[in-house]
Structure 1
């Protein structure tokens, strides 16, 4: 989605608005619509293409409550709009689509393998891998940036997950298809449902093959932790381990590459911000933090009401589907001053770019570390960025990203 900066008084008509339609997010910026909804109809009832009704919430406080209050709003039925009326096939088997306490039993052993200590231990390898991805762009003075960033999740997670090197490229490709099955440049132009099913099958086959290798050669990694995990006295099946690895890779691919790309776009006409970062490397984490708020890489997150309740003064019935528009919440002027300005001084920032509550992104620390490496490398070498063509936006109501972005780097001569 191209990110625009509407004035605070901008409003758009709400007649016949279809927030589900994936093409909306390729063809235009949704911030004017979200701003209108925050002011005029912050809890809106619409219908998915299969006829199932769902509520959209657009204010920060409502979105935060939706994501935090797992007793009222369950994650078990799915976390993206594609699940409305259908449910997620992995319900009850992965961290993403389980609620506490079972959620924590799955999450905690994996979280220990993605801790700050592990990130520090893997830091040199991560920096080497990411540096190798960026070096051709630096040598050529730029190029197509998004394709390079699609390799980022594997570069940052492979050492921690225990993924065999020979499977990395295939897993990276099918992860991208899984995240954006509506996008024709990734799915080969086939039907989105067919593409999603194909990606699901391929990913499970790849991970199940990797799991068999890891069982024979255990290590200090996520995959080994899952194969050794016992819940109620029983180990997870290979399919359950594969589903959780699949979920982790999807989460990584849904955030990190798109934050990096959209932040570069923001910096093309904010030279003063980039100059500040280049002059003071301690500002890199602030750039990553604001870049995540600014991008809001996942437009929405879904929950389902577990009990009768209310939201924003509107009655919500048990079983109702609830969609929290994270991209809208991260521009709520009641939370941030100048929400449409890209600022490095928003510390602390309570943005929802990585979610919040029990389902706060399990790989958030890894993502932040990887993005910090990207922008630290670029800050040492690149004076400025310029787009050489209009970026191509993804067809997706879930992911805010691009399929292609040609960018020129003003690279300093090597020392």
Structure 2
């Protein structure tokens, strides 16, 4: 079969043996595969990521010296079953699948390990138990976006975002746009997005952002939002003012009133900020400029060491949370949100290329202004 391999940062189309499904595995004929930002990073920074992965118990993440078939966002049709399968679906049934494959006693990350070739290919192997049928009529272009949208759904869940929260999305690349879509699907009424690229700001508007600005304007705008607290004096003063007013009422248990107000969300509450850039310095910029009591969800994958000022985060009582991947339920929920039209990710798809166009697509995405998600049709 034809596939795109990466070795020492070089992408090339190669002829590889047709993969044979092992026990409990299904071979899919790939219909669409997505180029992920982590693929762009892994092409050049795989070793740094592999070192961290090994520290957390996954020793098989790809390294630059390996020859790997990338591609962990995909959809395809059932082509063959391996031994021990339940054969749940007919040949030709469209599926999506969690990009995880069992290799003996080990679990491999499809498309990010030399032991589990990915979907930049005509065929890919998936675990039958990790596969899910694509609802009838769903466009393969949209089904292939299940994986990155599930990442965004998990990030929104990590932020505990309510409909009344102000949400701020920093960075409108593919993952930032996916977070935007999931915030609006969750009913969040006020979503502010920022990006230096005018093209990506247009995409953010298409994905439902209520306000889209250049990063230079972002924090002044957020500071104007109702309830935003931007100084310690204001925060402490509001507490003292509340006590002063409540204690004017004889025998009123002021502490119970304040607790009740907190439970009802009537006390100061910062925005939920999603860091979707993944380059050094962005976390510190958010910590420095976000209002007091903000929750910061780090979704961007920064491959280099970074710093921020903990004392600033402490003084502002910021919540700093990190988001990675998703669980199987979030993956399935995402697939069906797309299928029933609750989430419309069409603005994300800005091009479709064949295997011969993958190297060029990587270069385009590396300097993207108008592009978000470029999909691969291995049969084009």
TM-score, normalising length from structure 2? Answer: 0.28
* Structure that is richer in helix per residue: 1
Rg larger in structure: 2
Greater RCO (CA < 8 Å, at least 6 residues apart): 1
TM-score by length of 1: 0.27
